[in-house]
């Protein structure tokens, strides 16, 4: 009789022991290093996670998400740019463009997003709109058009500026808008590509390690300056979900994104295929 009673008590306990890790994963809020972070399901338009989501901060080279959008929406990807002196020698990450070299707008776009090339951003801005200032006006107009009121750009590359800022929430919304564009998705999901010709031919390898670190990640952009810290936007399509993860000033951003994506998949009941 006692054995039967013990058996009845133990079976539920054993079942709970096996199920508890899944339950904790589904309801536990991740502890992340980022100063600001969000996890956004672009399909349902719901934020699954927020941490200082509306705090204005610099975004470093995740700026180039907006830069890429303006370039793509220009409809001039097949045009060829002849590099001039004012397009070279830009501070930070670079393609090391040479005066007189010729690259298509689309090739420079790959340089912008994979190599995070600041000289590519200036070349594109100058060629497409005549000046960096005119191009930046278009970036800010884009933000207003899609309803972003806490985002403002001073340049197309993301080097620090007094009035160059966004929030984790708005960067997620901007990224969701960008991912509606097939060309944008193609570029940011590319792990490597060769551009240019002859002695100027280059192999570009995507700086975004999440493309290889987490199954199914298909973008979007890394960033870093000393003032902003590490910034990162990641995107993943899984089942009926489209998760976009944003971290600003995150010392351990790769780990943050893995935690948040796993959390999001659990919350939505999604499974890796």
Per residue in 105-160, pLDDT tens? Answer: 999 999 999 999 999 999 999 999 999 999 999 999 999 999 999 999 999 999 99
List the catalytic residue out of 51, 64, 106, 221.
64
Instruction: Kindly give the pairing relationship between strand 217-225 and strand 46-51.
Output: unpaired
Q: What is the CATH class of 32-268?
A: alpha beta
Three-state secondary structure string covering 220-250: EEEEEECCCEEEEEEEEEECCEEEEEEEECC
**Is 212 one of the catalytic residues?**
no
Does pLDDT of 13 surpass 80? Answer: no
Distance CA 140, CA 67 (A): 10
Q: How far apart are the first and last CA of the chain?
A: 48
| pLDDT band at residue 240 using 50, 70 and 90 as cut-offs | confident
Does pLDDT of 26 surpass 50? Answer: no
% of the chain at pLDDT higher than 70? 88
Does pLDDT of 42 surpass 70? Answer: yes
Model confidence over 188-226: pLDDT tens digits? Answer: 999 999 999 998 999 999 999 999 999 999 999 999 999
**Is 7 one of the catalytic residues?**
no
List the catalytic residue out of 93, 106, 116, 221.
116
Phi/psi-derived region of residue 164, left when phi > 0, alpha when psi is between -120 and 50, beta in every other case: beta
Predicted local distance difference test score (pLDDT) of residue 44: 93
User: Cα dihedral sign for 132, 133, 134, 136?
Assistant: positive
Mean per-residue pLDDT of the chain: 90
Does pLDDT of 1 surpass 90? Answer: no
Least trusted range by pLDDT, from 90-99, 145-154, 260-269: 260-269
Q: How many Cβ atoms sit within 10 Å of the Cβ of residue 242? A: 17
Predicted local distance difference test score (pLDDT) of residue 8: 42
Three-state secondary structure string covering 60-83: HHHHHHHHHHHHHHCCCCCCEEEC
List the catalytic residue out of 61, 121, 175, 235.
61
On whether the CB atoms of residues 239 and 183 are closer than 8 A, the answer is: no
On whether the CB atoms of residues 180 and 244 are closer than 8 A, the answer is: no
Predicted local distance difference test score (pLDDT) of residue 272: 53
Does pLDDT of 34 surpass 80? Answer: yes
Predicted local distance difference test score (pLDDT) of residue 17: 32
Nearest Cα residue to 233 out of 43, 26, 57, 63: 63
Predicted local distance difference test score (pLDDT) of residue 127: 98
Structure tokens at 52: 């200082």
Does pLDDT of 79 surpass 50? Answer: yes
For the chain, what are the domain ranges?
32-268
User: If you count them, how many residues does the chain have?
Assistant: 273
Predicted local distance difference test score (pLDDT) of residue 267: 86
**Is 271 one of the catalytic residues?**
no
DSSP state of 28: P
């Amino acid at each position: 009789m006692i054995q039967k009673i013990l058996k009845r008590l133990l079976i539920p306990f054993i079942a709970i022991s096996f199920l508890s890790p899944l339950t904790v994963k589904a309801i536990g809020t991740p502890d992340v290093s980022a100063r600001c972070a969000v996890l956004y399901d672009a399909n349902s338009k719901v934020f699954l996670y927020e941490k200082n989501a509306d705090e204005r901060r610099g975004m470093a080279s995740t700026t180039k998400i907006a830069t890429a959008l303006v370039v793509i929406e220009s409809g001039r990807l097949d045009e060829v740019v002849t590099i001039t002196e004012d397009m070279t020698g830009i501070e930070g990450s670079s393609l090391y463009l040479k005066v007189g070299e010729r690259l298509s707008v689309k090739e420079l776009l790959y340089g912008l997003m994979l190599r995070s090339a600041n000289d590519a951003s200036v070349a594109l801005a100058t060629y497409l709109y005549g000046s960096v200032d005119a191009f930046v006006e278009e970036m800010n107009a884009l933000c207003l058009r899609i309803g972003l009121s806490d985002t403002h750009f001073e340049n197309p590359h993301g080097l620090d500026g007094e009035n160059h800022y966004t929030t984790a929430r708005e960067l997620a919304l901007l990224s969701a808008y960008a991912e509606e564009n097939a060309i944008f998705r193609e570029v940011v999901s590319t792990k490597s590509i060769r551009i240019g010709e002859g002695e100027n031919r280059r192999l570009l390898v995507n700086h975004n390690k999440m493309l290889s670190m987490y199954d199914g990640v298909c973008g979007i952009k890394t960033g870093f300056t000393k003032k902003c810290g590490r910034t990162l936007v990641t995107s993943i399509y899984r089942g009926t979900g489209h998760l976009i993860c944003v971290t600003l000033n995150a010392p351990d951003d790769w780990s943050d994104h893995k935690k948040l994506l796993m959390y999001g998949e659990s919350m939505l009941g999604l499974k890796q295929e």
